[in-house]
């Protein structure tokens, strides 16, 4: 079983900042592997460990060069190697062009499954994985709470707004992962030491075959982004909260009055 | 109708998803500002019933039959047909709810059409001859405005961004068919399981009572549920409560769960980890009940109750019941 995990380095929650050009500041803060991608990685590691013929997990990211540090964290958890697509021209890429770049990078890799988190904590659009699957002609099984491969096919329990559905498709396939797959493991000291020796393959735009994108009339890179942010403003602060203390009955009465004033009850 | 604004309707079970009605209302306001027609589209194995429901909110709804959607995964089944319909009818913009199906469809249509996506809109204005999309980012700390660089685009809209308003008179439903030239790999639906719940889905709820670690266990969850019942709300949870197995993942609010924007959020024993607050900060009114006066959730709350959670919630339920009798 060979699995590629799309692992996006993102600023740690609460530390994100926008630069003056409204792009995410990726230099100033510590980065981590996006939370939902960590669930993807954990699920992938478990599948490989359970596979009778072994296999390995490879990380794939499109990010600035310094994201190598963050990818090492995934290597420390057990991924065998990583591919980092990095190029100054990719800064400011939109979801569409990102999907094309990731698809081009995946065309050079062999895999039974690609697993990605359902969305990222920085962009949060949750559309790139579906786009990659459509570009590569891979069956797309999203919002996975359970992944069960067998005999060249894979079954996924997909979370729906009112329950779940069980999906099945032949491999190779692309799956989007939710937290319901299970918590990621912690790195061991051995894992952290071993990660230093694992390979991170660097690919620039010039290394990728983007004929597929061009055939669809799509140029990649920040300059060709299909959408851009033109402004930002902080949300108006709420002000100091009203604090209620005292006996439960008194506090309850104060809260009822507060809710009634706001016409919430 | 070239240049129109299209709104994609989706189902929840056998009904129209509430977010679709909301997006129709948002799209109608945008169309009025832009001077563009607004048209609904419902795709599915037998879309007519849903399309009729959608026509309560829009003057014209295309009902696009895609028989494959009966037994194969929705977005991959309808994506190529929707793309073919868009190429034939030439609308300018597509709007869809930022739900699991909505995002899957947006991602697929984006690459099939070569259109950009602006995700998670909370409002859309018409400025300088194009949509200007307001998005709440970084867990509600910032509001950004975004535009498409080209003449087309797909916008996903967060649930509860607007209140759905039916039209005075029902619109018309027009069945349409297309023959897409491409197909995406079929994903078989082996089974569909609806988990019976009378509660509104967490991301559509107007009132949420949220359980945190401080709730302590299943017994505490009963109290959370009782308060939710009294307030007419849905029970949500922090990741700590989900990881403890007190409540399913579907109710989780936060970075790896749902983003919610209810009129009222009541946090019970929720300390306010950043990963939770990014999912609830934009709630209209936030009430936090906590033993610890220094808990970070106080930073985003309108009202903080300091004290014993169980005694307070029991007293609040009694006070609410006394008020309603």
* Number of inter-chain CB pairs under 8 A, A vs B: 287
For B207-265, write each residue's pLDDT tens digit: 999 999 999 999 999 999 999 999 999 999 999 999 999 999 989 999 999 999 999 99
Tell me the nearest-neighbour CA distance from A197 into chain B, angstroms. Answer: 31
What is the mean pLDDT of the segment spanning B310-322?
Answer: 96
Q: Where are the beta strands (DSSP E) in chain A?
A: 2-6, 9-11, 31-33, 56-62, 81-85, 113-117, 140-150, 153-160, 163-170, 173-177, 200-203, 227-234, 242-244
Tell me the nearest-neighbour CA distance from A188 into chain B, angstroms. Answer: 22
Mutate to test the interface with B, among A227, A237, A258 (most CBs of B within 10 A): A227
ipTM: 0.95
Task: Give the Cα separation of A13 and A221 in Å (integer).
Answer: 26
User: Which CATH number fits the domain A2-224, given the four candidates 3.40.50.620, 3.10.105.10, 1.10.760.10, 3.60.150.10?
Assistant: 3.40.50.620
pLDDT at residue A260, as a whole number:
96
Per the document, the length of chain A is: 265
pLDDT at residue B173, as a whole number:
98
For the CA atoms of chain B, what is the radius of gyration? Answer: 21
Q: Is B17 on the interface with A (CB under 8 A)?
A: yes
pLDDT value at B1 more than 70: no
Task: Give the Cα separation of A14 and B139 in Å (integer).
Answer: 8
Task: Give the Cα separation of B215 and B268 in Å (integer).
Answer: 7
Helix A248-261, helix B309-324: angle, nearest 10: 50
Query: How many H-runs (helices) and E-runs (strands) does chain B carry?
Result: 8, 17
Q: For Cα atoms B44, B47, B52, give the angle at the middle one, nearest 5 degrees.
A: 150
- DSSP secondary structure letter of residue A112: S
pLDDT at residue B195, as a whole number:
79
Structural domains of chain B sorted by starting position, each given as residue range(s) with its CATH number in brackets: 5-176 (3.40.50.620), 202-324 (3.40.50.1220)
pLDDT value at B198 more than 80: no
pLDDT value at B297 more than 80: yes
Q: Is B240 on the interface with A (CB under 8 A)?
A: no
pLDDT at residue B141, as a whole number:
84
Q: Across the interface, which of A135, A166, A234 has its CB nearest the CB of B111?
A: A135
- DSSP secondary structure letter of residue A258: H
Tell me the nearest-neighbour CA distance from A45 into chain B, angstroms. Answer: 19
Question: For residue B235, what is the enclosing H or E element?
Answer: strand B234-237
Q: Where are the domains of chain A?
A: 2-224
Closest CA to A39 of A124, A115, A129: A115
For the CA atoms of chain A, what is the radius of gyration? Answer: 22
pLDDT at residue B26, as a whole number:
98
Contact (Cβ atoms closer than 8 angstroms) between residue A5 and residue A144: no
- Provide block-wise average pLDDT over 10 residues at a time, chain A (265 residues): 97 86 84 96 98 96 96 98 98 96 98 97 93 98 97 96 93 97 95 97 97 92 95 88 94 96 94
Question: For residue A195, what is the enclosing H or E element?
Answer: helix A189-195
> CA A38 from chain center: how many Å?
8
Give me chain B's average pLDDT, please: 95
Between chains, do A244 and B306 touch, taking CB under 8 Å as contact? yes
Q: Across the interface, which of A35, A251, A258 has its CB nearest the CB of B312?
A: A251
pLDDT value at B142 more than 80: yes
Q: Across the interface, which of A119, A165, A238 has its CB nearest the CB of B193?
A: A165
What is the mean pLDDT of the segment spanning B51-73?
Answer: 97
For B271-280, write each residue's pLDDT tens digit: 999 999 999 9
pLDDT at residue A1, as a whole number:
96
Q: Which of residues 20-59 of B touch A (CB under 8 A)?
A: none
Contact (Cβ atoms closer than 8 angstroms) between residue A9 and residue A63: yes
Which residues, 6 or more positions from B114, have their beta carbon under 8 angstroms from its beta carbon? A96, A216, A217, A218
What is the b/e burial string over B45-73, where b = at least 16 CB atoms within 10 angstroms of the residue's CB?
eebebbbbbbbbbbbbbbbbbbebbeebb
Q: Is B136 on the interface with A (CB under 8 A)?
A: yes
pLDDT value at B325 more than 90: no
> CA B205 from chain center: how many Å?
9
pLDDT at residue B140, as a whole number:
82
Between chains, do A166 and B137 touch, taking CB under 8 Å as contact? no
pLDDT at residue A223, as a whole number:
94
Tell whether omega for the bond before A172 is within 30 degrees of 0, i.e. cis.
yes
Q: Across the interface, which of B17, B184, B239 has its CB nearest the CB of A134?
A: B184
Q: Which of residues 154-183 of B touch A (CB under 8 A)?
A: 156
Question: For residue B64, what is the enclosing H or E element?
Answer: strand B60-65
For B13-50, write each residue's pLDDT tens digit: 889 999 999 999 999 999 999 999 999 999 999 999 99
């Amino acid at each position: 079983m060979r699995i590629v995990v799309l692992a996006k380095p993102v600023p740690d929650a609460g530390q994100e900042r926008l630069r003056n050009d409204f792009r995410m500041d990726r230099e100033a803060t510590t980065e981590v592997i996006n939370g939902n991608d960590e669930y993807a990685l954990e699920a992938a590691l478990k599948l490989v460990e359970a596979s009778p013929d072994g296999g390995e997990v490879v990380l794939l990211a499109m990010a600035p060069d310094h994201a190598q540090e963050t990818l090492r964290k995934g290597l420390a958890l057990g991924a065998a190697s990583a591919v980092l697509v990095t190029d100054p021209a990719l800064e400011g890429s939109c979801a569409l062009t990102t999907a094309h770049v990731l698809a081009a990078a995946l065309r050079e890799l062999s895999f039974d499954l690609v697993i990605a988190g359902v969305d990222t904590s920085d962009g949060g659009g949750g559309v790139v994985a579906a786009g990659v699957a459509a570009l590569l002609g891979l069956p797309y099984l999203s919002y996975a709470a359970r992944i069960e491969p067998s005999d060249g096919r894979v079954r996924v329990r997909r979370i729906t707004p009112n329950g779940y559905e069980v999906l099945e498709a032949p491999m190779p396939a692309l799956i989007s992962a939710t937290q319901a797959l299970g918590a990621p493991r912690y790195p061991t000291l051995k894992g952290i030491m071993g990660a230093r020796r694992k390979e991170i393959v660097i690919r620039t735009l010039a290394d990728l075959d983007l004929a597929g994108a061009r055939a669809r009339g799509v140029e990649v890179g920040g300059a060709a982004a299909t959408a851009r942010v033109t402004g930002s403003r902080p949300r108006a602060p709420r002000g100091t909260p009203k604090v209620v203390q005292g006996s439960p009955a008194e506090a309850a009465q104060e809260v009822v009055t507060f809710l009634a004033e706001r016409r919430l009850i | 109708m070239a240049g129109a604004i299209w709104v994609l309707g989706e189902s929840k079970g056998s009904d129209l998803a509430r977010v679709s009605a909301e997006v129709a209302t948002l799209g109608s306001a945008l169309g009025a500002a832009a001077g563009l027609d607004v048209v609904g589209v419902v795709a599915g194995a037998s879309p007519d019933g849903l399309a009729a429901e959608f026509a309560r909110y829009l003057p014209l709804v295309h009902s696009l039959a895609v028989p494959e959607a009966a037994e194969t995964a929705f977005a991959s089944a309808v994506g190529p047909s929707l793309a073919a319909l868009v190429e034939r009818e030439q609308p300018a913009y597509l709007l869809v709810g930022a739900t699991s199906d909505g995002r899957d469809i947006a991602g697929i249509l984006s690459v099939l059409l070569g259109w950009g996506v602006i995700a998670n809109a909370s409002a859309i204005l018409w400025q300088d001859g194009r949509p200007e999309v307001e998005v709440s980012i970084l867990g509600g700390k910032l509001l950004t405005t975004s535009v498409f660089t080209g003449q087309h685009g797909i916008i996903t809209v967060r649930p509860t961004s607007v209140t759905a308003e039916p039209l005075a008179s029902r619109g018309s439903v027009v069945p349409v068919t297309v023959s897409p030239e491409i197909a995406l790999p079929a994903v078989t639906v082996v089974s569909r399981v609806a988990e019976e719940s009378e509660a509104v889905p967490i991301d559509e709820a107007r009132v949420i009572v949220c359980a945190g670690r401080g709730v302590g266990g299943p017994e505490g969850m009963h109290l959370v549920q009782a308060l939710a019942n009294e307030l007419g709300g849905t029970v949500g949870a922090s990741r700590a409560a989900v990881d403890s197995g007190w409540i399913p993942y579907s109710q989780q609010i936060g970075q790896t769960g749902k983003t919610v924007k209810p009129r009222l959020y009541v946090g019970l024993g929720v300390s306010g980890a950043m990963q939770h607050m990014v999912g609830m900060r934009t709630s209209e009114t936030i009430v936090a009940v906590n033993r610890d006066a220094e808990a970070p959730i106080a930073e985003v709350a309108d009202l903080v109750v300091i004290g014993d959670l169980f005694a307070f919630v029991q007293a609040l339920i009694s006070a609410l019941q006394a008020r309603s009798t």
